[in-house]
Amino acid sequence: MILNPIPWPNGAKCACAITFDMDADSLIHVSRPNDGHQRLYPISMGRYGPTVAVPRILETYRRLGLKQSFFIPGWCLENYPDAVEAILKGGHEIGHHGWIHEDPIVTAGGQREPFEKALRAHEKICGRRPKGYRAPVYNVTPEVVDLLIEHGFDYDSSLMADDIPYRMKTDAGVLYEMPVHWGTDDWPPFAHYDEIGYMMPVRSPSAGLAGFWEEFEAQYEAGGFFMLIVHPFLTGRLARWRLVEQWLENILNSHDVWFAPLEEICDHVKSVEQAGTAKIRTENLPYYDIPQK
Ligand SMILES: [Zn+2]
């Protein structure tokens, strides 16, 4: 059970979001800066995302009438303009996902420059500032939270302190969290990427996705929030996306769910909080000021 459930629009039982992180081949360039550009296999694996998977995913969304969220590094916005244009044309949200997928903890103390470079790419290519952020590899630092508040972001979607959206409060202000979890992320079941240190046994499509659907059933029963954190080059592949598409058709036909982009879900959370119809839990940040020993 969830002790402080959020009432969803039109009495829906569960808020749902399928969020794609369109990393493309940024991963190999940031992890192998000297020779990544010569590694054609990982480049090709990443390029499959914007070139083959994204059009397929967008077609499903168009057919089913869904608007969803994509998180895209600034470098990918610049290098894959056709995919970006198609995503925007479909009415979907594009959130901030770093410049070239740099890990914020590795660049600790120096996040402002890549963060703001990515913001400028959003303004130039998407024509708007993003409202949401997801940290590459989920590594949000207090420095990043401060940058998000300074730049007027509504939400982060990288942290794990609750099942449903919550507030984060710092001395600088407030930010909402649309919480993620490894149980609804496609990296563990589907990623196999030796060059960046992931040697995982790839699960079959049905086995890899089965855990996600169990997560959905629990959230649905509790009136919660179900979000997938997936990648076009992994879950957008033919056999996997076929199963996701079938699942979507079934859920839309048989369940009372509210699919929306995260920015809309965040707006709703804010409105019910202001109306006093939901109690949104607050986490005070930073958790620690000094190393704990
Ligand atoms: Zn990513």
230: nearest Cα among 183, 269, 173, 163: 183
278 CA from centroid of ligand 1 (Å): 31
Would you give per-residue pLDDT tens digits along the chain (293 residues)?
Answer: 999 999 999 999 999 999 999 999 999 999 999 999 999 999 999 999 999 999 999 999 999 999 999 999 999 999 999 999 999 999 999 999 999 999 988 876 789 999 999 999 999 999 999 999 999 999 999 999 999 999 999 999 999 999 999 999 999 999 999 999 999 999 999 999 888 888 888 999 999 999 999 999 999 999 999 999 999 999 999 999 999 999 999 999 999 999 999 999 999 999 999 999 999 999 999 999 999 99
Q: How far is the CA of 39 from the centre of ligand 1 (A)?
A: 19
Instruction: Locate 232 and state its tokens.
Output: 């076009």
Q: How far is the CA of 138 from the centre of ligand 1 (A)?
A: 8
- At 119, give phi and psi (nearest 5°): -60, -40
CA of 193 to the centre of ligand 1 (A): 14
pTM of the model: 0.97
Residue 238 pLDDT: 98
Buried b (16+ CB within 10 A) or exposed e, 274-283: eeeebebeee
| CATH superfamily of the 9-284 domain | Glycoside hydrolase/deacetylase (3.20.20.370)
Say how many Å lie between the CA of residue 43 and the centre of ligand 1. 15
Q: How much distance in Å is there from the Cα of 273 to the middle of ligand 1? A: 30
Delimit the domains of the chain by residue range: 9-284
186's tokens: 């496609």
- Give the distance (Å) from ligand 1 centre to CA of residue 156: 14
Instruction: Using the CB atoms, write b or e for 79-105: b if 16+ within 10 Å.
Output: bbeebbebbbebebbbbbbbbbbbbbe
Q: How far is the CA of 130 from the centre of ligand 1 (A)?
A: 16
What spacing in Å lies between the alpha carbon of 276 and ligand 1's midpoint? 35
Q: How far is ligand 1, taken at its centre, from the CA of residue 97, in Å? A: 7
Phi/psi for 86 (5° steps) reads -65, -40
